[in-house]
Amino acid sequence: MDSMIGVIGGSGLYDIDGLEGATWVKVTTPWGKPSDEILVGRLSGTPMAFLPRHGRGHVHAPSDINYRANIDALKRLGCTDIVAVSAVGSLREDYRPGDFVSVDQYIDRTFARTKSFFGAGCVAHVGFSDPTCPRLSDAVARAVPAGITLHRNATYIAMEGPQFSTRAESNLYRSWGADVIGMTAMPEAKLAREAELCYASLAMVTDYDCWHQGHAAVDVAQVIRTLTANAAQARDTVARLPAILAGDGPGGHTRPSCPHGCDHVLGTALMTAPAKRDPDLLAKLDAVAGRVLKG
């Protein structure tokens, strides 16, 4: 399998520098329109696709993002690995604005979003105990430029939004042991797993939410200031990824099978008997689950 890196840019990251032959392409999916066209090109020779999660100009609120269309579009283009970049609030004293965070666990508190490609007519249950890919997360961590403080093994609490937390909620999440809070990781990570894509999350701390008595409650101006300062480092991280992933593989741009099984989770996930599966739903799953359905 050839490697193709998909980057989903969050608040503050709306394009990628240095893509060779970069072209914005429109991708049609059976789940509706993705957040925007997708920027496709090569970075250091490696195929790459970039999708601005909120659309260029930040036109989609977290609850309105078509997460299924976004993941389907990236899979349809041939992406094998997804790196999600996002802005988060810190729930810890030592996670300071400007720090980067590698997420490996989630607490999902969203409630107004469709969270699966599967359902009536084709039921599937994928394993999600380890929601990010350790191989890809490690590569992303190694790609973070020197001088940037990086925290690993963090827990991200996904809230519905679009409002920020109350102080009571912020303190509740801290008591649960969550490290950072954001609005877009769910159901994105769940859908990436269902699509058999390796997924890693790189979060940029912009604020202390509203729990910290020594800092003002979060506002959009504060978020934008910190994101603007970090945008160059986020782009540098992405630029360093192809060489690191190529060094981890067998050479060239050939991608080895994921040692953690991210790219084969559907092999044991489908519950509905073949004769009972809905043909219309199966047709929509051609990109996401084509590997197992064709088999």
Residue (of 35, 187, 201, 49) closest to 126 by Cα position? 187
Please indicate if the annotation marks 208 as binding a ligand.
Answer: yes
- DSSP assignment of 24-39 equals EE---BTTB--SS-EE
User: Which listed residue (36, 81, 108, 207) is catalytic?
Assistant: 207
CB–CB of 130/260 below 8 Å? yes
Tokens linked to 126? 């994928």
pLDDT of the residue at 39: 95
pLDDT at 127 over 60: yes
pLDDT of the residue at 2: 81
Q: What angle do CA 75, 22, 231 make, to 5 degrees?
A: 85
Domain around 158: 5-294
Q: Give the pLDDT mean for 106-133.
A: 98
Please indicate if the annotation marks 1 as binding a ligand.
Answer: no
**17 is an active site residue:** no
Count Cβ atoms below 10 Å from residue 7 Cβ, excluding itself.
28
Q: What is the pLDDT of residues 227-250, one digit of tens each?
A: 777 888 888 899 999 889 877 765
Please indicate if the annotation marks 183 as binding a ligand.
Answer: yes
pLDDT of the residue at 234: 87
When divided into structural domains, the chain yields a total of 1
- Cα–Cα dist 253/269, whole Å: 29
Mean pLDDT of the chain: 92
Tokens linked to 87? 């802005």
User: Which listed residue (72, 81, 179, 209) is catalytic?
Assistant: 209
Q: Is the pTM of this model over 0.85?
A: yes
Residue (of 193, 161, 182, 157) closest to 68 by Cα position? 193
Q: What is the pLDDT of residues 172-208, one digit of tens each?
A: 999 999 999 999 999 999 999 999 999 999 999 988 9
Read off the CATH number of the domain in which 220 is found. Answer: 3.40.50.1580
Please indicate if the annotation marks 60 as binding a ligand.
Answer: no
Please indicate if the annotation marks 185 as binding a ligand.
Answer: no
**94 is an active site residue:** no
State the residue for tokens 């957040």.
Answer: 35
Please indicate if the annotation marks 86 as binding a ligand.
Answer: yes
State the residue for tokens 């699966």.
Answer: 116
Amino acid identity of residue 25, one-letter, is V
